[in-house]
Chains A and B, each alone.
Chain A
């Protein structure tokens, strides 16, 4: 399934008039393969801004790129001190938490768009719409969301790089976003937004596929589908190596 994750406001943009500027985006890698030596990847997101009739606006426009991983349904638990020990005491469920989120912009977000626009286009880790599905009050949800963002940021799964998009001559832009080694496989989307006077005037999406390849792919599939044989292999490996080491040691 190749789903283009187009949100409603983006769809509206594509239907807008022909005299609006257009974005021609691309990414350095359409496919990211996870192999034995995978320690993450550096993605280059670049492209051109095409103005109708080649007229460039007097005020330079801004670019925001957002790279999003597959959404996950998650349960978050919070530890609290109960009777002297730390136990999971509170929890919240979110139906659509992105497994990966990275954003880069040509200037700090708060200077490009207002709060409302940033929220609509999910520009920034604090603007993610996680769809809570448990009965927590809003203060609690805020606490959990902050916890999620903090945890994922430290794991390199949520990244914010304001002010790192370079725009040359007002038409060519480039941004570099790091893909952590902890990313999960699936379809990722790279969204690019052209912002003029606090308004998103053009948007474009590119899909990126992250998948395990070769041996790693084989292992993941084997563990899932042929679990009995997989378990047998693990046991044979353990017994065989233990035996061999003993046999070798007796000769030395």
Chain B
């Protein structure tokens, strides 16, 4: 079933895009991440122009995170204060992202930077997650209880001035730490079309030392609002949001997300984490190979 995308200026197979959205939605429901880190590269691989892919993937992440946020809010596992600080940082970061995006575009280096960013972040976070979850698995198998990790924030976070209490997160830290973290994810959202959940969640756990219960809800809450802001910025500046593409992705991903959420309740969280780590590492490896391998297209064309 071919459908013409009015902004991307090409026709795609609607079922393929819906299926792609479905797979990403499934993962996002299972792991509580937005899944943008998969959507953007897959769309580019399918032949969608990178800018359109990043702009439209952001709105897909919005859709995938809405129902998660609603669920977490009803369970009371969203730290609104922490979320608010993260969002403030995220919106500033997205604004900076617009500027960086344009600069890199004019230099012709946007693709390379996106590739390197993906490899560094996914590689780093993937290995961190893999290490943690393998340790947890070993502890599970040997029946030995793993000694509870001392939950504490990174020394650098403690060095920042002024402190706020974040009750639901169980923290008494400087608001600058989540603000900077929010900014970093905001930039990434703008550049890569990712929600940044795969960075936020580990960073909130390991850098800020938040308690586990409110991490996923709060990160989804921030992702929801930052992707909304990003979609708007793309619509206003790059004008690359393709509504038809976004609609197709959404149909798949909101359905997939529901299935994923149900699945995640039947699987042990330890296995879930190692699975996510494997997927993240796989994407990172593919991107790394892409940087070193001779690309399919040596030449690219920019129309002015």
A binds B: yes
Sampled A-B contacts (11; CB under 8 Å): A37-B3, A39-B2, A85-B112, A85-B116, A85-B292, A88-B300, A99-B303, A231-B234, A234-B235, A238-B66, A245-B257
Which among A73, A75, A88, A215 has the greatest number of chain B C-beta atoms within 10 A? A88
How many residues from A make CB contacts under 8 Å with B? 58
Q: Using Cβ atoms and an 8 Å threshold, which residues of chain A touch B227?
A: 238
| Inter-subunit contact A78/B299 (CB<8 Å) | yes
A234 to chain B, nearest CB (A): 5
A228 to B257 Cα, complex, angstroms: 28
Q: Which residue of B lies closest to A38 (CB)?
A: B4
A216→B6 contact, CB < 8 A:
yes
Given A228-B235, A234-B241, A246-B70, 13 more contacts at CB 8 Å? A36-B244, A38-B11, A73-B303, A78-B298, A85-B112, A86-B293, A86-B295, A87-B109, A223-B235, A228-B236, A234-B59, A242-B62, A249-B261
Pick the 8 closest A-B CB pairs, nearest first: A246-B67, A231-B235, A242-B66, A147-B299, A245-B254, A238-B62, A219-B6, A242-B63
| Residues in A neighbouring B294, C-beta threshold 8 A | 81, 86
The verdict on B42 contacting chain A, using a C-beta distance below 8 Å, is no
Flag if A73 contacts B304 (CB, 8 Å). yes
Q: Is the CB of B9 within 8 A of A88?
A: no
Docked-complex contact A223 and B7, CB < 8 angstroms: yes
* Cα–Cα, bound, A137→B89 (Å): 48
Task: Considering the complex, give the chain A residue whose CB is closest to the CB of B294.
Answer: A86
Contact B241 A249 (CB under 8 A): no
Could you say which residues of chain B place their CB within 8 Å of the CB of A87? 109, 112
Q: What distance in Å separates the Cβ of A1 from its nearest Cβ neighbour in chain B?
A: 20
How many angstroms between the C-alpha atoms of A241 and B71 in the bound complex? 15
* A183 nearest in chain B by CB position: B9
Q: Is A151 an interface residue (CB 8 A)?
A: yes
Residues of B contacting A230 in the complex (Cβ-Cβ under 8 angstroms): 235, 241, 243
Chain B contact residues: over half helix, strand or loop, or mixed? helix
Q: Is B251 an interface residue (CB 8 A)?
A: yes
Q: CB-CB < 8 A to B293: which residues of A?
A: 86
Answer yes or no: A50 CB below 8 A from chain B CBs: no
Chain B residues in 8 Å Cβ range of A86: 112, 291-295
Q: Would A231 and B232 be within 8 Å (CB), given that A85-B292, A223-B241, A239-B62 are in contact? A: yes
Find residues 207-265 in chain B having any chain A CB closer than 8 Å to their own CB.
227-228, 231-232, 234-236, 239, 241, 243-244, 246-247, 250-251, 254-255, 257-258, 261-262
Contacts of B62 in A (CB 8 A): 235, 238-239, 242
Q: Known contacts being A39-B2, A151-B299, is A74 close to B304, with CB within 8 Å? A: yes
Judge whether A216 and B4 touch: CB under 8 Å.
yes
Within 8 A of B (CB), among A133-192: 144, 147-148, 150-151, 181-182, 184
Contacts of B246 in A (CB 8 A): 234, 237-238
B1-20 interface code vs A (CB 8 A; 1 in, 0 out) = 01110110111000000000
Residue-wise interface mask of B (66-101) relative to A, using a CB-CB cutoff of 8 A (1 in contact, 0 not): 110011000000000000000000000000000000
Q: Does A54 contact B (CB under 8 A)?
A: no
What sequence of 0s and 1s flags, for each residue 211-251 of chain A, a beta carbon within 8 Å of any chain B beta carbon? 01001110110011001101111110111011111111100
| Contact in complex: B250, A237 (CB < 8 Å) | yes
- CA–CA, A233 to B250, complex, Å? 13
CB distance from A159 to the nearest CB of B (A): 17
**Cα A217 to Cα B244 with chains together (Å):** 13
> Is B270 part of the contact surface with A, judged by Cβ < 8 Å?
no
Distance A85 CA – B295 CA, assembled complex (angstroms): 10
| A28 sits at the interface (CB 8 A) | no
A86 to B239, alpha carbons, bound, how many Å? 28
A235 lies within 8 A of B232 (CB): yes
In the complex, which of the residues B63, B234, B254, B297 contacts A151, with contact meaning CB atoms closer than 8 Å? B297
